[in-house]
Amino acid sequence: GAVVSQHPSRVICKSGTSVKIECRSLDFQATTMFWYRQFPKQSLMLMATSNEGSKATYEQGVEKDKFLINHASLTLSTLTVTSAHPEDSSFYICSASNREKLFFGSGTQLSVL
Amino acid sequence: GDSVTQMEGPVTLSEEAFLTINCTYTATGYPSLFWYVQYPGEGLQLLLKATKADDKGSNKGFEATYRKETTSFHLEKGSVQVSDSAVYFCALSPQGSGYSTLTFGKGTMLLVSP
Q: Is the predicted pLDDT of residue A68 greater than 70, yes or no?
A: yes
Decide if B100 and A105 are in contact by the 8 Å CB cutoff. Answer: no
A102-104/A90-97 β-pairing: antiparallel
Per-residue pLDDT, A79:
96
Q: Is the predicted pLDDT of residue A53 greater than 90, yes or no?
A: no
Shortest CB distance from B104 goes to which of A9, A32, A43?
A: A43
A31 contacts A49 by C-beta, under 8 angstroms:
no
**What's the rounded mean pLDDT across residues B33-39?**
94
B40 touches chain A (CB under 8 A): no
Residue B18 pLDDT grade (very low, low, confident, very high; cuts 50, 70, 90): very high
What is the greatest pairwise CA distance in chain B? 42
Residue B99 pLDDT grade (very low, low, confident, very high; cuts 50, 70, 90): low
Residues of B in contact with A2 (CB under 8 A): 42-43
Residue of B nearest to A105 (CA): B43
- A77: closest CA among A59, A53, A101, A98? A53
Which of B:78-107 have CB within 8 Å of A?
Answer: 89, 98-107
Strand partners, B7: none
Note the pLDDT tens digit of each residue in A8-46.
999 999 999 999 999 999 988 888 999 999 887 788 899
Chain A nearest C-alpha distance from B65 (Å): 21
Chain A nearest C-alpha distance from B50 (Å): 15
Task: Report d(CA A43, CA B28) in Å as an integer.
Answer: 20
Task: Report d(CA A7, CA A46) in Å as an integer.
Answer: 19
> Could you give the percent of chain A with pLDDT greater than 70?
98
